Chains A and B, each alone.
Chain A
């Protein structure tokens, strides 16, 4: 069975290591904050200028001056810091953020990502995505393996305008965990009950299946 959004987020959270500074994009990546393993600590960075992002506020805690990069009201944890946008992107562009998780429309075998612009549709902007993919040490893409028409989003070459080049190393989809290296996708894990054949059929770019591919465990 393909994973739900929350199951993808649960699998993403298994990637975090104790002491990681993590930036989570909007959507499924944000959900990963709910599933950080209890035996580790991670600190969330929000690119509008907050390191140590906490949960959403209670009604009484709401403060218009305290928001996250998705413009939602938020809180800060004890030990958080707040800073300006240039310092925030010094953390990101300077490679100080350990893990970035973000969504995408397409990823290709060379680690290129397209996530911000569909020609013919109104373009809202890239926000901080181009900075994040250019700067983080470890970038994880979360997305569905195929689009609503069943067409693969893991391609030999991205067709949409790019967000970044040669930057994606790990992809977690509703069907599989894959690594990107040497011009191919390498299948590492499959969702419970999903066959290798189905993953192959829904992966348009070169897919390498080496040995037994374990099912994800939660």
Chain B
């Protein structure tokens, strides 16, 4: 009896069931708080035709950028995809599709998707190219557009600690999109720096509750820094 124990011992187990043409929601902002082990294993699995919903697409050779190397990604849904030469090349060659989405709208799409809300109105993007083809409506004299939420076949998440029940906490700004991504996967995988026993994290300090989490795996993290700036 596994009960509520979500811990798996390999990325094979963690990503079991991921196949071609699925949608993956990935936490992270730039290279901060990204599920490094899941990304590396998806590259190893070789699945293709993926739609990946994530704020960014990593950089050349690290983060989600490695999934471009073997053309595993069909479509990216992101707010910002600069800093990636291979991305640019595949986009211009028509090998990759991108749906640029305002950052707040992207976070809300994940949040709403995880909360069972199919769409929401927002002022963000009204009157801009983002509004093209979308329903609009006025509330109190202001224009809003209808944005549909997103869910994924899988969500890949990076947390600081999780207990064996899948209750998670994040550390500093490595939180970012991870809590929303965790709610929006049919199967949610959380990779962590440390797995702890239930009760080790105080109940009121838990950021993501175990009910949203299907698989927990102990990860190892390089934590590459994209822009190292000091005041020295």
Point out residues on A near B: beta carbons under 8 Å.
46-50, 55-59, 62-68, 70-74, 76, 82-86, 88-89, 92-93, 112, 117, 122-131, 134-135, 161-166
Contact status B127-A165, CB under 8 Å: yes
Establish whether residues B230 and A56, one from each chain, have CB atoms under 8 Å apart when the complex forms. Answer: yes
Contacts of A93 in B (CB 8 A): 104, 122-124
Shortest Cβ distance from A70 into B: residue: B227
Closest to B227 in A: A72
Bound CA–CA A55/B88 (angstroms): 33
In residues 175-230 of chain B, which contact A (Cβ within 8 Å)?
A: 175-180, 207, 223-230
Main secondary structure of the interface of A (DSSP, over half): loop
Q: Which residues of A sit under 8 angstroms from B106, Cβ to Cβ? A: 85
- The smallest beta-carbon distance between B73 and chain A, in angstroms, is 16
CB atoms of B124 and A82 under 8 A apart: no
A124 to B103 CA separation, bound complex (whole angstroms)? 13
Residues of chain B within 8 A of A163, CB atoms compared: 128
Interface residues in B87-120 (C-beta closer than 8 Å to A):
88, 91-92, 100, 102-108, 110-111
When the two chains form their complex, are residues B32 and A84 in contact, meaning their CB atoms are under 8 A apart? Answer: no
- A–B pairs, 8, beta carbons within 8 Å: A49-B175, A70-B227, A82-B172, A84-B180, A122-B92, A124-B81, A130-B102, A134-B122
Query: Nearest CB to that of B55 among chain A residues?
Result: A85
* Contact of B37 with A by CB under 8 A: no
**Are B79 and A125 in contact (CB-based, < 8 A)?**
yes
Range of interface residues on B (Cβ < 8 Å): 35 or more
Contacts of B80 in A (CB 8 A): 124-127
B166 interface residue (CB < 8 Å to A): no
Q: A48-B176, A70-B227 provided; 11 other pairs, C-beta below 8 A? A: A48-B32, A59-B230, A65-B223, A85-B103, A85-B106, A89-B107, A127-B103, A130-B125, A134-B126, A164-B126, A165-B143
In the complex, the answer to whether B232 meets A58 with C-beta atoms within 8 Å is yes
Is B124 a contact partner of A130 (Cβ separation < 8 A)? yes
Q: Are A65 and B100 in contact (CB under 8 A)?
A: no
Whether, in the assembled complex, B33 has its beta carbon less than 8 Å from a beta carbon of chain A, the answer is yes
Cβ of B44 within 8 Å of any chain A Cβ, yes or no, is no
Query: Is residue B48 within 8 Å, beta carbon to beta carbon, of the partner chain?
Result: no
Per the bound structure, the CA–CA distance linking A80 and B107 in Å amounts to 21
Partner of B175 from A84, A117, A130 at Cβ < 8 Å: A84
Q: Tell me the nearest residue of chain B to A55, going by C-beta.
A: B231
User: Is B128 in contact with A130, judged by CB distance below 8 angstroms?
Assistant: yes
